[in-house]
């Protein structure tokens, strides 16, 4: 309690409710001034007033969300996250390659998956207007495909479309600089160094994808056929390959004619790796070929100033022990998956 003659510090809720505290009473300078102050203070403290009450401001604050998409040739995954990149919900959709039907299946998959994700999170779909989206898409190597897809009728506050290698890099290195190779059914390489983007590969099964499981799987089938013909040396792996594809060269030839996709050749990689771990000589030759392709990309990355590289993709994961032995500290494990890389880029692009 302050002494007589000092300013009132009772901090009463309103002047009208001022309690005796021994201080001189508060005196308005005039009746008009008194009326103004009393009215203003009463309005300020009223429960339903429009004054700056922290609870009412918080309730009116519009939340911002981030949506990431990992669009693949056979399916796509969607993740909805809050401002802190905490996952709120996920959904899955169908094939999402931008080169298929001008991206129409990809558009439907993303829209359907977005509705599902918002419903799972219990968030009104109208709040897509406050959501920043990032899509990492198969078939997104060409800028024209990305631009056309971004220009579609989306409900989001902002949409950025990337090649799928970009979200792999962002996920692998937490949005920071670094290099990444995709080694799965297909293959590609990309690095971000001092903010500069470098990309190689990713040109598809027919003219590229040297590191891919599809290319190595095709080499395995060729080797198995040649070995069965007696042109080159065979092994238990080549015998198992012919057996897996029908048991005879006629059956293997028939198998190869039935609209074989890259994924059909890539599906042979688990068997190849199993035989490699058993010491099969043909498997070792093929893995040596694979690693020579990876060597080329490692040298390419280092020439551009990259100091670390991660690998993603099912086949790449199986190769990690070999790469760690071969490349030492240059090879690192991915921090997060490509889908989360899309969410990271969505937030980074808010102010871009």
The pLDDT of residue 137 is 95
Residue 185 domain flag: no
**Tokens 């300078």, residue located:** 29
> How far is CA 218 from each of CA 186, 192, 272, 280, 308, rounded to the nearest angstrom?
12, 31, 12, 18, 30
Q: Do 94 and 114 fall into the same domain?
A: yes
Q: Do 167 and 70 fall into the same domain?
A: yes
Q: Do 74 and 139 fall into the same domain?
A: yes
Residue 194 domain flag: no
Residue 7 domain flag: no
Alpha helices, H only, the chain: 31-45, 54-60, 104-121, 143-150, 164-172, 213-229, 236-244, 249-257, 262-266, 269-277, 281-303, 314-327, 338-348
CATH code where residue 305 lies: 3.30.420.40
The pLDDT tens digits for 155-211 are 999 999 999 999 999 999 999 999 999 999 889 999 999 999 999 998 888 999 999
The pLDDT of residue 100 is 87
User: In the beta sheet, which residues pair with residue 90?
Assistant: 79
Residue 180 domain flag: no
The pLDDT tens digits for 206-231 are 999 999 999 999 999 999 999 999 99
Cβ atoms within 10 Å of 293's Cβ, excluding its own = 19
In the DSSP assignment, the letter for residue 64 is: -
Residue 192 domain flag: no
Q: Do 133 and 221 fall into the same domain?
A: no
Q: Do 141 and 72 fall into the same domain?
A: yes
Q: Determine the Cα–Cα distance for residues 9 and 1; give it in Å rounded to an integer.
A: 8
What token pair was written down for 265? 């050749």
Residue 114 domain flag: yes
Mean pLDDT in residue range 124-137: 97
Cβ atoms within 10 Å of 78's Cβ, excluding its own = 29
Mean pLDDT for all residues in the chain:
87
Task: Please say whether the dihedral angle defined by the alpha carbons of residues 106, 168, 273 and 201, taken in this order, is positive or negative.
Answer: positive
The pLDDT of residue 216 is 98
Lowest-confidence range among 33-47, 158-172, 201-215, 295-309? 33-47
Residue 10 domain flag: no
SS (H, E, C) 163-219: EHHHHHHHHHCCCCCEEEEEECCCEEEEEEECCEEEEEECCCCCCCCCCCHHHHHHH
Q: Do 158 and 72 fall into the same domain?
A: yes
Q: Do 218 and 303 fall into the same domain?
A: yes
Residue 255 domain flag: yes
Q: Are β-strands 76-81 and 87-93 bridged in parallel, bridged antiparallel, or unpaired?
A: antiparallel
> How far is CA 224 from each of CA 242, 252, 303, rounded to the nearest angstrom?
6, 10, 37
Report the domain count for the chain: 2
Cβ atoms within 10 Å of 139's Cβ, excluding its own = 22
The pLDDT of residue 34 is 45
**Which range of residues forms the domain containing residue 291?**
213-330
Q: Determine the Cα–Cα distance for residues 291 and 282; give it in Å rounded to an integer.
A: 14
Q: Do 138 and 217 fall into the same domain?
A: no
Q: Do 340 and 313 fall into the same domain?
A: no
The pLDDT of residue 171 is 98
Mean pLDDT in residue range 296-307: 98
Q: Determine the Cα–Cα distance for residues 9 and 167; give it in Å rounded to an integer.
A: 58
Checking 56-65 for CB contacts under 8 A at 24+ apart, the result is: 62/130, 63/127, 63/130, 64/130, 64/131, 64/132, 64/350, 65/123, 65/127, 65/130, 65/131, 65/132
Confidence of residue 58 (pLDDT cuts 50, 70, 90): very low
The pLDDT tens digits for 325-341 are 999 999 999 999 999 99
Q: Do 325 and 343 fall into the same domain?
A: no
Q: Do 284 and 238 fall into the same domain?
A: yes
Q: Do 255 and 324 fall into the same domain?
A: yes
Mean pLDDT in residue range 10-28: 47
In this structure, are residues 167 and 345 in contact, taking their beta carbons and an 8 Å threshold?
yes
In this structure, are residues 67 and 80 in contact, taking their beta carbons and an 8 Å threshold?
yes
């Amino acid at each position: 309690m302050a002494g007589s003659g000092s300013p009132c510090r009772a901090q009463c809720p309103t002047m009208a409710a001022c309690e005796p505290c021994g201080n001189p009473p508060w005196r308005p300078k005039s009746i008009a001034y008194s009326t103004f102050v009393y009215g203003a203070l009463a309005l300020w403290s009223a429960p339903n007033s429009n004054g700056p009450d922290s609870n009412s401001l918080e309730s009116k604050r519009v939340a911002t969300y981030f949506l990431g998409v990992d669009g693949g040739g056979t399916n796509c995954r969607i993740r909805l996250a809050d401002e802190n990149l905490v996952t709120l919900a996920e959904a899955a959709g169908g094939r999402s390659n931008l080169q298929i039907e001008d991206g129409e299946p990809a558009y439907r998959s993303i829209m359907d998956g977005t509705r599902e994700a918002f419903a799972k999170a219990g968030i009104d779909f109208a709040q897509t207007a406050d959501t920043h989206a990032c899509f990492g898409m198969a078939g997104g190597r060409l800028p024209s495909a990305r631009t056309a897809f971004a220009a579609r009728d989306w409900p989001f506050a902002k949409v950025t479309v990337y090649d799928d290698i970009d979200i792999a890099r962002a996920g692998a290195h937490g949005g920071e600089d670094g290099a990444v190779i995709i080694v799965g059914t297909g293959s590609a390489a990309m690095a971000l160094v001092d903010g500069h983007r470098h990309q190689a590969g990713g040109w598809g099964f027919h003219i590229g994808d040297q590191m891919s499981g599809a290319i190595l799987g095709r080499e395995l089938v060729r080797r198995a056929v040649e070995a069965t013909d007696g042109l080159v040396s065979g092994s238990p792996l080549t015998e198992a390959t012919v057996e897996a594809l029908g048991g005879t060269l006629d059956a293997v030839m028939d198998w190869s004619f039935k609209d074989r996709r890259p994924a059909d050749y890539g599906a042979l990689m688990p068997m190849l790796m199993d035989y490699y771990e058993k010491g099969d000589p043909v498997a070792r030759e093929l893995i040596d070929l694979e690693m020579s392709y990876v060597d080329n990309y490692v040298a390419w990355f280092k020439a551009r100033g990259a100091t670390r590289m991660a690998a993603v993709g099912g086949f790449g994961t199986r190769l990690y022990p070999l790469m760690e032995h071969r490349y030492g500290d240059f090879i690192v494990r991915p921090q997060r998956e490509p889908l989360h890389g899309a969410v990271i880029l969505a937030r980074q692009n808010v102010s871009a």
